[in-house]
Amino acid sequence: MTLNPLTLAPADTDNSVDIEIATYLNPSVPQSFFLYAGAGSGKTRSLKNALLEIRDKHGEFLRRTSKKVAVITYTKAARNEIISRVEENALFHISTIHSFCWSQISSFHSDIQKYLLTSLPLKILDLEDKQIKGRAGTKAAYEREKSLVNTYQRLEYLKTPREFNYNPNGDNFGQSSLTHNEVIEITAYFISNKPSMQVLLVNKFPFLLIDESQDTNKHLIDAFFKLESAHTGNFSLGLVGDTMQRIYLDGKIKLGDIIPDHWKKPKKFMNHRCPHRVIQLGNALRLDGEEQMGRDDGEEGFVRLFILPSDTANKQQKEFEAAKMMAKITLDDKWLTPKEFVKSLTLEHHMAAVRMGFFALFSTLDKSTSLSTGLRSGELAGLRLFSQRVKPLFDAVKREDDIAVMALLRNYSPLLNKYILKTSEASINPLKKVRKAVNDLLKFDNNSKVTFFDILQCVAKHNLFEIPNSLQSFVNDSQLKPTTFVHDDEEDEEQKTSSLEAWGNFLQTEFNQIGPYSDYVTSVGSFDTHQGVKGLEFERVMVVIDDSAARGFTFNYEKLLGVQDLTPNDLEKMENEESNVDHTRRLLYVTCTRAEKSLALIAYTSDQNKLENAVINKGWFLKNEIIKI
């Protein structure tokens, strides 16, 4: 089977789209729009051009009327990139989604409290109902009881007027702190149900542009749709993105299909990043009918698929051999030093967790749907206690860096809180308790079997660091849970989504995983995933596809690649909603379209010949592009 031909076009083909978008951003006649912008299409450039157009044509009016343009990005890196391109102009409020949401609700303390006083009793009723209907002695019953105690305690705390705090860029500890999820949830509710909030937002931000809109929380997107509908003619909501690049499960499914009729729907067709052959592969992976064009002055590029048996020993050595072959094929010697010049990507975090040594940590927490997004982004406060407090303390002591140790303790330890030092006996010898706490904690550092639970108990005993709400339930436990449980098949599904149980299981795993995990979420490790690199680009990319390493979580690559047949359930989901195969296809698309020059895919499979024939028949690869090792 041959490949579908690629359309080539001049580099300036999409310039008219930027001009068109500028007409939507007129304060006199604001127009909402959804900009389709695929991989490498230059959407950040379009955002920059749109903002500069507003500045030049309408900036004076907006300043005179105390209005701004809001831009919401998904990551801090994207925020910083856009800010740098528009020279930090005060006319633009550019922020991450969590930061934007908090800026809208941060002064509404009584409203937040009323919301929690309404929602928490509903949570209690639900837990009590399940406790009555469920069987005693099960894991689920035990975790529900803990959750009930925590919720009652928080409800009691909220009976007194409170002021709430939240840090979108860090940790949120204590009863007055809101979690990342709560901030999104409360903001969506306020925008949807409080006309006064809508008026305030529209008056301050007549234009609201959302980058990576396909990954923005679906409840928040629904709230913004309601806002736009109620204020059409006075407000412009601009969504920018590509539904094929939706990678987070809490994003809006098929966002492009529900855009209101009165919106404009401009498209960018060019891919300026990838060579022609990679664009061809990306187009073949899509099922939505959208096809990108390549630059007529672009390179052809290289794509190769290396197929290996699933039970291959020493996989990393085989991947290095594939890199050496890529050096010969591309005449590019930088493939010979892959650690320095090749970006290795896995489609799924579990693969990286297995390779890098934090699988037990990752798999226990990932079983809770409410924790999965924060786990991938490194934003869970329960993990940051270990990655941002304990591990750096161990590292600083090993380096004998006393300045770093004291800086860490001053920033994060309640033992060095100025008020406590003044009002306690510790003021006579303020470092006595600190030294005792640190020394007791350091006793664990050389023990490879020490668990997160062991560390938690030591930290809590000495009050060395503040304990996040998610871990408070485990502080006084002599053990994490009863040693034996009655098994109840009917409660299996509930167990999968219990965040409290997930934290309990996590605490039983070994602390030495925190280093590799921290390296991974900060992109210091040897592997990245689709989430870590979306929007980025690399000259040489190696994508590793390995079902055996993924351990069956969420994805099945052999179904996508044609080695395993689709089940009736898969086919039904593909027809009516979204299947794991759809999700996997998007992940493969995102990772492949990071490549600027050459792309190598490493696929481990139970049937090499079947995989080879399947991808040829799909029109993804030519036979001479496939190498079986």
What pLDDT, in 10s, does the model give residues 49-71?
A: 999 999 999 999 999 999 999 99
Spatial separation of the C-alpha atoms in residues 160 and 309, rounded to whole Å: 63
Q: Which amino acid is at 322?
A: A
Long-range (24+ apart) CB contacts under 8 A made by 21-26 are 21/46, 21/49, 21/50, 21/238, 21/266, 22/49, 22/50, 22/53, 22/54, 22/57, 24/236, 24/238, 24/264, 25/50, 25/53, 25/54, 25/58, 25/69, 25/207, 25/236, 25/238, 26/57, 26/58
The pLDDT assigned to 162 comes to: 93
- Cβ pair 229, 215 in contact under 8 A: no
Q: Is pLDDT at 291 greater than 60 in this prediction?
A: yes
- Cβ pair 591, 541 in contact under 8 A: yes
Spatial separation of the C-alpha atoms in residues 396 and 463, rounded to whole Å: 19
Structure tokens at 259: 């855009």
Average pLDDT over residues 139-149: 80
- Confidence at 367, pLDDT banded by 50, 70, 90: confident
- Confidence at 44, pLDDT banded by 50, 70, 90: confident
Instruction: State percent of the chain over pLDDT 90.
Output: 57
In three-state secondary structure terms, 239 is strand
Average pLDDT over residues 121-130: 91
pTM for the model stands at: 0.83
Q: Is pLDDT at 529 greater than 60 in this prediction?
A: no
Q: Is 573 or 141 the better-scoring residue by pLDDT?
A: 141
- Confidence at 553, pLDDT banded by 50, 70, 90: very low
**What dotted CATH number matches 8-105+184-273?**
3.40.50.300
Average pLDDT over residues 302-328: 95
Residue 366: CB atoms within 10 A of its CB come to 19
- Cβ pair 462, 440 in contact under 8 A: yes
Q: Is pLDDT at 395 greater than 90 in this prediction?
A: yes
List the 293-295 sheet strands across, edge first: 8-9, 293-295, 270-271
Q: Of 32-41, 82-91, 220-229, 600-609, which gets the smallest average pLDDT?
A: 82-91
Q: Is 318 or 252 the better-scoring residue by pLDDT?
A: 318
Instruction: State percent of the chain over pLDDT 70.
Output: 88
DSSP 314-359: SHHHHHHHHHHHHHHHHT-GGGGSHHHH-EEEESSHHHHHHHHT-H
The pLDDT assigned to 389 comes to: 95
Q: Of 252-256, 470-474, 558-562, 577-581, which gets the smallest average pLDDT?
A: 577-581
Average pLDDT over residues 598-625: 94
Q: Which amino acid is at 528?
A: D
CA dihedral 184, 86, 592, 602 (to 10 degrees): -90
Q: Is 355 or 420 the better-scoring residue by pLDDT?
A: 355
| Residue 305, H or E segment | strand 302-309
Q: Which amino acid is at 226?
A: K
The pLDDT assigned to 628 comes to: 95
Spatial separation of the C-alpha atoms in residues 450 and 496, rounded to whole Å: 26
- Confidence at 570, pLDDT banded by 50, 70, 90: low
Q: Is pLDDT at 357 greater than 60 in this prediction?
A: yes
The distance in angstroms from the start CA to the end CA of the chain is: 23
Spatial separation of the C-alpha atoms in residues 90 and 68, rounded to whole Å: 8
Q: Is 579 or 366 the better-scoring residue by pLDDT?
A: 366
Where are the alpha helices (H) located in 136-217, listed in sequence order? 139-157, 180-193, 195-204
Instruction: Give whichever of 13-22, 241-250, 492-501 has the largest mean pLDDT.
Output: 13-22
Residues spanned by CATH 3.40.50.300 within the chain?
Answer: 8-105+184-273
The pLDDT assigned to 472 comes to: 86
The pLDDT assigned to 462 comes to: 92
The pLDDT assigned to 356 comes to: 86
Long-range (24+ apart) CB contacts under 8 A made by 431-438 are 433/462, 434/409, 434/464, 436/462, 437/413, 437/462, 437/463, 437/464, 438/393, 438/397, 438/405, 438/409, 438/464
Q: Is pLDDT at 488 greater than 50 in this prediction?
A: no
In whole numbers, what is the pLDDT of the chain averaged over residues?
A: 87
Using CB atoms within 10 A of its CB, is residue 59 exposed (0-12), middle (13-18) or buried (19+)? middle
- Cβ pair 611, 545 in contact under 8 A: no
Q: Is pLDDT at 281 greater than 50 in this prediction?
A: yes
